[in-house]
Amino acid sequence: MTRVEPEYFPPESGPYASLTWPVALLQYVPEQIQSRTGIRFNPGYDDLDTLEWAPVVGTSGQRYALVYHRNAPKSGTEIVTRSDSQDPWADIVDVLNGLKLTKNDLVWTALEASKSQKSVAVSRPASKRIPTRAHQRRWRVKLSPDVANKLRRPVEGRGRAEMLLRKFQRQADRGELQVTPSDFEQLLSHYAEMRTSRGKGRPVVRRALKRASKKR
């Protein structure tokens, strides 16, 4: 049997390069998903952990990924969609329908997906693309020139946190950021994972989260 070498996720290029937003967590591990669906997982890694991931196509024809982090605090497999998705719940439904699963197979969903799930029902099976779109709530954060200049500094790495920082960099020239609850949740998740795997978080992230918690 040919051994498959682990590769970085998400890939640097190609149709799966933009898949950086985990929007839901299935209660199953890769072995269980493979036995139910026949989907095979590939070995991989990101900036925090080793993982297994599988490309999947929803009933709409859209591409997604299933990602399992071996050392995550909570066991399960993530449904990962595009970083610019406007309707995360529709994406989740698209994947569930393709896998012939239901929302009862989920143990966690992103905040935006939870708020929009009433607009789209899970069908068994589904064959049509889900047309509805949900509007994500956004917080507007004014940037001082000094903070904007610091935000423009080069970001190394291609993990979820780095992708989020690059997203903020694209907004820096406007003098303000539009931050979604999911953005904040990703920062918290990234910080928690770093605390678990390394004992402490990066100082920049730690200070940002402390300031944000005081404002809330």
160 in the same domain as 106: no
Give me the number of domains the chain comprises: 2
145 in the same domain as 56: no
110 in the same domain as 150: no
Q: HSE of 163 in the Cβ direction (CA atoms, 13 Å)?
A: 21
Contact residues for 119 (Cβ-Cβ < 8 A; gap 6+): 89, 132, 134
Higher pLDDT, 56 or 121: 56
186 in the same domain as 102: no
115 in the same domain as 24: yes
Higher pLDDT, 123 or 62: 62
pLDDT over 60 at 119, yes or no? no
Across 181-193, average pLDDT: 67
Q: For position 168, what pLDDT does the model report?
A: 79
Higher pLDDT, 38 or 165: 38
pLDDT band, residue 209 (cuts 50/70/90): very low
Cα first-last separation, the chain: 54
* Token duo for residue 177: 């950021």
Q: How far apart are CA 185 and CA 104, in angstroms?
A: 22
112 in the same domain as 44: yes
114 in the same domain as 36: yes
Task: Using alpha carbons, select from 82, 107, 126, 134 the residue that is nearest to residue 24.
Answer: 107
Q: pTM value?
A: 0.59
Q: For position 67, what pLDDT does the model report?
A: 97
Could you list the residue range(s) of the whole structural domain that residue 188 is in? 139-215
Across 50-70, average pLDDT: 95
